[in-house]
Structure formats: C-alpha cells, structure tokens
A and B are shown apart, each in its own frame.
Chain A
C-alpha cells in the first residue's frame, strides 16, 4: 500500500512540476540576464548613475543654467573678470549675485558655460563612437567574413592607422579638414575605428566557423543573410563594451583637440577649450580650470565605470 501511495505521490509531484513549469515560460533572454548581473555590480551602477545625471543636465541645461552661456554680464551686474565663485550658502554676501563657479575672462557666468558644455561633450562622444562603431565594425565584419585579399588590404590599412599616435593623427586630419567641432568628430572617429574593426573581425572569424552558422548555410541562407542574422548579433557583445569605454576616450580626445584650438571654436562652451583658454590663469583664477577639468573627469569616469560593469555583465562565462 505504501508503495502504491509513494508512486502516486511521485506522479502527483511530476504533474505539479509540469504545470508549475508553465508559469516560467517567460523567456529569460541573454540581455535580461545581463541586465540582472549589471544591477548586481556597484561600480557599473555608479557609472550609470553619473552618466544618467550628466544626460539629464545636458537635456535640461536651459532650466539649470541661470544665465545665457554666451552673454557677457558687463553692465547687467556688478561683477569683475575672473571673479571667484560666489555661493550664498558658503558665506558669500547676500547682496552679491550668485555665481556658483565664478566669472570667466569675458565676464560670463561660468556655471552656465560648464552646464552647456555637457551638451557638446555628450553629443560629441555619442556621435563619434556611433560613427566609429558602424564604420569600423562594418569593415571588420566584412573583412573577417570574406577573408582573402580584401581582408588583408583592409586590415593592413587599419594597422597603419593604429600605428600613428592617435591624437597626432587626429591633429593631422583636422589640419587637412580645417578646425571645427564636426571635423574633430570625424577625425576622432577615423582614429578610433581600427579598434572596432579588429575586435569585430576577430569575433567574426570565430563565429563563422561555428556549427550554427553551418546549420544556417545548410538551410539555405545566403552569405549576406548569415552575416546579418547570425554573425553580427553574436559578435556585438564585446563591441558594446568597447563602445562604452570608447565614449570616454572620444570625449577626452575631443577635449584635447579643443584644447589645442582645433575642435570647438569660441564662443561655444566646450570643456576642453575652456581649459585651454584659461590655462595661464591657473594661479590667479583656479576655478576656471578646475570646474571644466572636474566635469571631464566625472564624464570619463562615469563611462569607464559603466563600461567595466557592462564587460562583467556581458561576460558569457558567467552565464550559468
């Protein structure tokens, strides 16, 4: 009797497990799992927090900035050039107008300029990386997939680009195209492209030999269909990480170009060029160098932390 009931109990258990199974049909996709892992990492979340804050600042810049970033305040207010920050909370007399980051050499509110600078840096970082990612990854994917002489020629050309110190090459390209933010963007994209091409090519080389690509071929997919539907989606993971880290590099290089006068042109508020303009006033008006420098640091740090977090989250070895 006990034997029978045990058997029945077992059957019941199996039946229950089967029906319980139905509740978990919702697929846990790779991205969902990755997101879950990303949430578990402090550094990545700090990075995400910093970047989200910056994005919000950039979007709501007109609401946050108390002044027009390009308007000089001569005649409107009683302020001097290079005037130190005046924060009421920190003991600045109430009768003076508040300037959180002081006044720059052209009598403009520096806080407003730093706030507006986030727009320039973020869009620049975003577009540079997007351009470099699409062109670089595209070249790498096609080179890796086709192989042969095309692969050789294209990748050797990428090696040539990689052979130059990147900022030097960017300067050379801007020198040819002419200074300006858009040309700086193009220059940085060209300089950072080989990294994406190389990573993509390596990924494609591994993936195109895999059985699921063979299976797709046996089903009758054309090479183009295989590249787009099978190879590229599976190759994207390390590129996403690289791109996130790349935003930091791009912002830094753009600041560098602007510092040299080849990027943003006055009066546009851009952190790199703001640094450059007041580098000689480091000792007389340190706030003019400190705040844009701090802004660049926070942005770069944020993207680096987020990139690290994403690298951990997307690591397939942590999948199971």
Chain B
C-alpha cells in the first residue's frame, strides 16, 4: 500500500450561530464532526454526500482555507493543522484548490494569464519570461491556447473558465489538489470534457486528488477510492469497485439506487429515503442516519455512535454501521463476498 500524503484525524469544524440583539453565540453547527481520512500518494479519492453534509468544509480545511476547530491534519508527515503565515506558505505551494463556481473564482479585473501566474510570482519565479512560458504551457495543457493569456475572464465560457481554474491550481506543480465539485456548475457535455481533463492530468502529473462531489456517477469516473459522508461524518469508505458492487451502509445503498439508469425496462427497485437531511444544528443522537434508515434498530442505532470498522479481512472496506460492520452484525448481517 502506498504511503499516505494526507492523514486527517478526528477533524472537527464548528461554525458559531449568532443571534439575538448582541449577536451572541447561541449555538454551533457541527459541519464536520470528527472525520478520519487518509489519502494515499498518487490516488484520487472521491468524497460524496448530500448538500450540507460538510464535504466542502472538509476540503477547505484540508487546504487550510478554513481553520479546523479540533483534530489534526498531517501533510506528508508534517502536522499542518495550525501552521500560520510564512510557515504555511511552503505548504500552500504543494496543495491547491479547484473551486466549484467557475464564474466567481477568477478575478474579473485580471487577465487570466496573470491569474495563473500569481502562484508563480508568489513562490519565487521572478523572471517574467519564465512565468510567461509556464503559463503558456499550462494553458495548452488544459486545452486552451497560449494567446488566451491576455484575455479577461468574461470572455470565456464556463467550461473554459474551469480549465483556467485548473491551470491556476496546477501551475505550481502541487502534490495535492482538492477539487470542490469542479463540474457541478457546468453543462453535462462540458462536464465530461473537464472530468476527462482532470483525470488525464491526475495520472500524467501523478497528483493526489480529493474530489468532492454530490454526484456518484461523476465520482465513479474519476476516483480510485470513494468516501461517503453524511451529516459531518464519513459513513463508508472503500475502493470504487466494491462500493458500487456491494455498498454496506444503508445510506450508500440509497444513494446508489438513486442513480438514474437509462433503461426503461429495468425494474426500479429504488430505495427512497424518508424525510429531509436533519439539521446539523441539532443532529440525531447515536447514528446520525437512524431516523431515515430502513434497517435501524431501536435501542442500538439511536444510542451509540457507530465507528468506521472494516467489513473484510484486509480492512479495505470500511463502514460505520452497527448492524453491518459493528458489534450487532448478527441482527442484519450482509454477507460480504469478495
């Protein structure tokens, strides 16, 4: 097994909710409620979950755009959880972020070439010629022309802007790239192009990728491993094949059954979840999923928080479910065939 580039341990992010006359803190939202996640070098991990489950927050914490409330992040062996200022800068160079909204992530008053070159300028590529060269090369790598460097963002389409965003993230040759739903704002036809580009670049440049998405189909296409998040916690994590072939957590099952299949004759054994995703302001006790879970058992699931546990012997398939991988497997054992 490859060594881990990123190790996150018990990572928590709380946002204060302010209210009342004096803007006092009246509650906290647990956007990320204790996540352990390892990302091996050179692999692409997909992170899926519904809106509001904390996946973007987790990605932003990883590249230190958000300050973790507690827990640790190790990057290539170094603890970067609370590194600040100039000490953080060398790490900034090695991890980059691709934003969801291609319209908001480029400075409208800066030529795209300068936007891409910003990282080079900040990290000591002083010669203007060299910057120009690398920007041109980068633009060509993402499928644009070098001459586009002198244009402004409003002259590009959404897909082109996302390519520019990718070029900006990759120009520093980072080790880790966090892509926050990079295609969800794009047309379906353009989505495929951008996804393929990301995938090619990932293998070409040997990138480690954390790919955040709410679309399992998109994640299947790009990632080696998939982590499923629900309400601030990771509920299942395994390699792509076993997840799609044999999901363990009931939430993952529901997610997978929601993928539309373009075959009208195929029986629709959709598993529709009841209710809304609960508010992270006031999450259910025990397993966060139990109010919506088809197999939940009273007295077990609404009491204890399930931990991520291995379902198979070599420990590659992890799920957090009392009834499938935890101590109460006898109640609802899913036969694991591997």
Task: Report A's interface with B, CB cutoff 8 A.
Answer: 22, 25, 27-30, 210-212, 214-222, 225, 230, 233-234, 316, 319-320
| Contact (Cβ within 8 A) B65 A27 | no
Instruction: Provide the bound-state CA to CA distance between A206 and B233, in Å.
Output: 31
Pick from B65, B106, B119, B150: contact of A212, CB below 8 A.
Answer: B106
- Chain A proximity of B98: nearest CB distance (Å): 9
- Distance of A215 from chain B, by nearest CB (Å): 6
Q: A218's contact among B92, B100, B108, B155, by CB below 8 Å, is which?
A: B92
Query: Least Cβ distance of A122 to chain B in Å?
Result: 29
Q: Total interface residues on B, using CB and 8 Å?
A: 36
Chain B nearest CB, measured from A239 CB (Å): 14
B302 close to chain A: CB less than 8 A: no
Q: Are A234 and B108 in contact (CB under 8 A)?
A: yes
The A contact surface, by secondary structure, is helix
Lowest 9 CB-CB distances: which A-B pairs, in order? A220-B92, A211-B105, A219-B119, A211-B104, A212-B107, A211-B99, A218-B97, A220-B89, A220-B122
What are 23 A-B pairs at a CB distance below 8 A? Answer: A22-B147, A25-B147, A27-B150, A27-B151, A212-B106, A212-B115, A214-B60, A215-B105, A216-B107, A216-B118, A217-B65, A218-B92, A218-B95, A219-B96, A219-B122, A219-B172, A220-B119, A220-B123, A221-B122, A222-B85, A225-B122, A234-B107, A319-B154
Q: Which residues of B contact A28 (CB under 8 A)?
A: 152, 155
Minimum CB–CB distance for A22 against chain B, Å: 7
Q: Give 1 or 0 for each of B106-148: 1 = CB within 8 Å of chain A CB.
A: 1111110001001100110000000000000000000000010
CA distance A30 to B107 in the complex (A): 12
**Chain A residues within 8 Å of B110, by CB:** 233
Q: Is B13 an interface residue (CB 8 A)?
A: no
Residues of B in contact with A (beta carbons under 8 Å apart)? 60, 63, 65, 85, 88-89, 92-93, 95-97, 99-101, 104-111, 115, 118-119, 122-123, 147, 150-152, 154-155, 165, 168, 172
User: Which residues of A lie under 8 Å from residue B107 when comparing CB positions?
Assistant: 212, 216, 230, 234
B63 to chain A: which residues have CB within 8 Å? 218
* Residues of chain B contacted by A215 (CB below 8 angstroms): 97, 99, 105-106, 165, 168
Q: Which residues of B contact A211 (CB under 8 A)?
A: 99-101, 104-105
Q: Which residue of A lies closest to B64 (CB)?
A: A218
B137 to chain A, nearest CB (A): 18
